[in-house]
Structure 1
Amino acid sequence: MASDVCTPPDLVELFEGAPCGLVVTDEDGRILRANRTFCDWLGYTSAELSGRPFQNLLTVGGRIFHQTHWAPLMRLQGSVAEVKLSIIHRDRRPIIMLLNGVRREHEGKAYNELAFFGTADRDKYERELLKARQAAEDLLKEKTAAEAALHQAQAELSEAYETAQRRATFAEQMVAIASHDLKNPLTGIKMATDLLARGDRTAQEKRLFKHVGDSVQRANRMIADLLDLTVIRVGRGISVNATEVDLHTFTGHCVEELRVAFPHAELQHRSNGTAVVQLDNDRLFQVIGNLTANSVAYGDVTKPVTIASSLHAGTVVISVHNFGPVIPEDQRASLFEPLIRGADIHADLRSVGLGLFIVREIARAHGGDVSVMSDAVDGTTFTVRFAQRAVEVVEVVESCPPTGLMPAPERAGANGLRIRRGT
């Protein structure tokens, strides 16, 4: 009956085509059977491996490890798990495999049943894990270095901020000194000069008093510019106190005062339409005065300087035109920077080079800007645009006297203008 019992074909195929290498050896390590998968991996046939000592398939190091480690473990504990071995292919190249084995006894004989697994995918996975770990460690180092650099930058920024605060405080102190300790003596000089000039004086004395008065005015103007520069530098910006202003009337009033300051120059005022706007009239006078002084200083005083005022689509436009030397194109952008001078001209009208810078900052404080155009035919024109938001003219009742302030909204005042607020 026993001779009629055979292994079912599906079990044989399961052994031969298993996804791992399967090997059975006797107790001495001679191969009794190797499946097709193991043979294909090593390039041998099953008949070529049958009866061959298994350790002959190992490298020298593998043989030593077989004799000293896993073979004794098989005898002592009856199994080994995940032993990594280098097995020699037929073409003499090593193949890394993992070995799991058990020792079984059958009919008084011991057999070693060995299962081999390829490690290519596992090694690749392990390499990827090591690579990812190294990348994570590198990122951690970079993060640590970035955090250290950030802390350092924050410390430097904090120190720089404290230094800037100290400088700002010092600048504010200098502003107070300039406004009190310089302007007050100049006011005293001006008052004393005016008193002395009232009496009967010779022509030469009158000229001297006039020179003193003009020098005081120039000094006051330079102090005002320096004060504005200091306020801008400490981050406060130009202050603006907007009030309702009849643009053309106020501009005409400014031009009248400037004619007194510049008697040797011909100043003309041109206006377009009627405009009641909201601007800081003191700053507006400063803009017109600085641009006019600049035109008189650098332009051709034998030809008129034209100051124009207009309102276009809610934008106040003030322009000052003169004939004179052309401003080179590469110098126009830097004209509005502080302490920049357009040319070496020696005149009483020269300042410390802040006039155009102050004009630009006043324009920006009103939401506008300043530009310049200059050529040999049309001359030089500085144009300031203010973005004014609140006042429109509704009806002109009668002509206006020369005043710069307008009445409250929605009523007719003494200047004869009826106005309303817009947006």
Structure 2
Amino acid sequence: MAITILEGLIGSTPVRDNWYRAGLANLGVALSYRFNRLGDLRDLVEAISRHRDAVELTPRAHPERPGRLNNLGTAFKARFQRLGELSDLHDAILMLREAVNLAPDSHPDKLSCLNTLGSSLEARFKCLGELSDLEEAISRHRDCVGLTPRGHPKRHGRLNNLGNALKTRFRRLGEVGDLEEAITILREAVDLIPRGHPDKPARLQSLGNSYLTRFERLGQLSDLEQAILILKDSVDLTPHGHPGKPARFTRFPRGHRHKPILLNNLGCCFQARFRRLGEPSDLKKSISILRAAVDLTPDDHPHKPAHLSELGNAFKARFNRLRKLNDLEDAILMLKNAVDLSPVVTLFSPLCLTALAVLSEPVLSASANQVTSRMQFCGIEVPMTSRLAITLQSLLVSTTLVTPSSFASGALGR
């Protein structure tokens, strides 16, 4: 109804009238909202067109221009998230930078502009790896947090974005100080948000993952225990699917869309504790939780291959412990499915190498032909390159990568 009314208003208002510009901007917002609810890409495309027209008709000194630039940049970012076109992300950053530069600190849209610009820059860093994008993202998030009052209802989300950006820089540069600051900031975000808030599980997830990351770096078991407690809390707080966005847009119902990721992370924590302490109950919990993550993740979701890979690794760990062939076969099936669902897979991709690593384990007590037979039993086609790779005596899962130079240097002949 609102969209129809706004379209009628625009159609009956002179182009130079202020109401025409306002109508365009509001129509763009309404179309973006409908896209967020229904996931119809046509709404987003039209929203971008309306927002662009509104920006072009708004003078540079007009107080509404920063907000309209922010709306346009946010719409470009949404289309990038949907289609993956980098040009949309570049356009989003251009619009948002102009909005930030035009808006004084007292402008009502300043905080939103800073927050969205920071997130867009971090997204581009993850695509292109330019450290300058990440540095600017952290700076923008710091500015946003600094301008957000302590009692502001969105402060926890802005703290979360800053903490995650710092954690991203830790992964790039390895500076433990970034990780320590991230944990402090993410802890504040968790403490600010009430237990019944729908974003509480996601905030707990960010904090729990940070403790897991610090455990992986420093080896302190207390960090792993904290990660398990926090991630278990996040899973317990996440419902199994109350009404919300349809699956064709988010691919998970609201309240449920984070659950597979939360389960996967918790399962990885139990697997890490099994590797550290050797308790079979931890491995059993890991497999159960990772299986639930896989079952809840649709095949067309980008996280599905990673969830399958983690479950395959857990089955491999149990095979190594108990030497039961059915665990090996389950591992092969999970990893084969992960490879099949990955958008780009080569012999040397991490998922493919993980699958080959699973197969390399029994090579010490079985011939390559026997291993190949097991693969074929599970429905895996075995090209000659894979048969050659199977003859490797060992592959280190996730850490040691086989490269084409390994074959050239005679690694297969050992």
TM tier relative to shorter chain: under 0.3
Higher RCO (C-alpha under 8 Å, 6+ residues apart): 1
TM-score normalised by length of structure 2: 0.23
Larger CA Rg, structure 1 vs 2: 1
TM-score normalised by length of structure 1: 0.23
